[in-house]
Amino acid sequence: MTVGFTLRATRPVVNCIGRRVFEQRKLPRRCLQTGKLPSNSNKVRIVEVGPRDGLQNEKKLVPTEIKVEFINRLSKTGLTAIETTSFVSPKWVPQMSDANKVMSQITRVPGICYSALTPNTKGLENAIAANVEEVAIFGAASETFSKKNINCSIDESLQRFGDVIKKANENGIRVRGYISCVLGCPYEGEVAPEAVAGTAAKMYKMGCYEVSLADTIGVGTPGSMAKMLESVIKVVPFDKLAVHCHDTYGQALANIFCALQFGIRVVDCSVAGLGGCPFAKGATGNVATEDVLYMLDKSGYETGVDLAKMVDVGNYISDFLERSNGSKVAVALSANKS
Ligand SMILES: CC(C)(COP(=O)([O-])OP(=O)([O-])OC[C@H]1O[C@@H](n2cnc3c(N)ncnc32)[C@H](O)[C@@H]1OP(=O)([O-])[O-])[C@@H](O)C(=O)NCCC(=O)NCCSC(=O)C[C@@](C)(O)CC(=O)[O-]
């Protein structure tokens, strides 16, 4: 693997909640233009979001015991990160109203992080009571989407997140940040890369250990992904970023591959391609975990996740939901088996 990246020194700074973090200086422009890899690591962390993003939009209420079985099966695939549920208002997302039960009934395997979404301190308090070790706040790069999804402006959301992060840190809980609509908004259309970078920088400085950049409605292409990342990596180190690509327009794998060229080594995905945000019109599923695993493995990256086992889990949940498996790789492998 080519390593031609000269990352400038970082210097420690104290963030707004008193934590020492490293601030990334601007990347030299020439590095972005060479196309060379800013990281020589071939290890990629997969964040499985199927139990949360995958199921939150299902019309049919999925019983807690099915969710628990689904998560327990995922826990046997080699994953190290499973986004398990959301502590959100049950009026807004009824499918996640059993968050507490799910967290208490799953078999937690050491070495796996079972995280949950928390939009506010009420969600965080519930997550703490359920013994959650990592939470995610979720904001947006688009004002309208922010309002539709969490009923407040971007600035208001950042204020709320500040409270969540402070309290989470006091309780020894790590906080991940999501930014929705980084490559387009269902209500406002195009989103400026600078708007994404601005929100990403704020979330990172507030204390998110990682910021996941979400193409909520899957409209991005490698071209728009590259432009957006060029802006974002000027203000947040590439090794503190993740990508979260929905596959609505069939661009997700290409977009993820583009992100790898920028050194990003954390990829969110959803087994069997389940998912979509209930507040993003037209949003379909996340990129299928099986498809990501196949691409990464055949391209020389390591994830530690067993593709065959993941295909079985995808078939299990697809059978329950009475729908065909949304992963092309799972369909191809299952056809070859029979
Ligand atoms: C943020 C709120 C709560 C604001 O909603 P609100 O109505 O403005 O909240 P509120 O503070 O006025 O409270 C209203 C009621 O909700 C309750 N409440 C308040 N907070 C909570 C909580 N945490 N847990 C449980 N209950 C809560 C609160 O107690 C009160 O109950 P009432 O007095 O009426 O009985 C609401 O908008 C909400 O829950 N939104 C969640 C939306 C959501 O889950 N969206 C999907 C996940 S994001 C996503 O999918 C995108 C992502 C991450 O995947 C990346 C991508 O692809 O883009």
pLDDT, position 8: 36
Q: For residue range 87-116, what is the model confidence (pLDDT) as tens digits?
A: 999 999 999 999 999 999 999 999 999 999
Contact indicator for 203, 137 with CB cutoff of 8 Å: yes
Domains of the chain: 43-337 (3.20.20.70)
Query: Bridge partners of 203?
Result: none
145 lines ligand 1 (CB under 6 A): no
| DSSP symbol at 307 | H
Going by C-alpha positions, the residue among 23, 1, 27, 28 that lies closest to residue 13 is: 23
Both tokens of 313, joined, read 């889990």
Q: For residue range 279-325, what is the model confidence (pLDDT) as tens digits?
A: 877 777 899 999 999 999 999 999 999 999 999 999 999 999 999 99
pLDDT, position 13: 40
pLDDT, position 109: 98
* Phi–psi pair at 118, nearest 5 degrees: -140, 110
- Pocket test of ligand 1: the residue of 88, 159, 181 to mutate, having most ligand atoms within 8 Å of its CB, is 88
Q: Is 277 a catalytic residue?
A: yes
pLDDT, position 275: 86
Both tokens of 221, joined, read 């292409």
ipTM of the complex: 0.98
Q: What's this model's pTM, rounded to 2 decimal places?
A: 0.90
- Residues of the chain short of pLDDT 50, as ranges, are 1-37
Rama region for 143: left / alpha / beta (φ>0; ψ in -120 to 50; rest)? alpha
The Cβ-side half-sphere exposure at 234, using a 13 Å CA radius, reads: 16
**For the residues of 190-222, what is the DSSP string, one character each?**
---HHHHHHHHHHHHHHT-SEEEEEETT----H
pLDDT, position 31: 40
Ligand 1 atom nearest residue 283's Cα: 57
pLDDT, position 296: 98
Ligand 1 atom nearest residue 91's Cα: 16
74 Cα to the center of ligand 1, angstroms: 27
Ligand 1 atom nearest residue 277's Cα: 50
**Catalytic option among 113, 208, 258, 277:** 277
pLDDT, position 39: 63
pLDDT, position 18: 43
86 lines ligand 1 (CB under 6 A): yes
pLDDT, position 280: 77
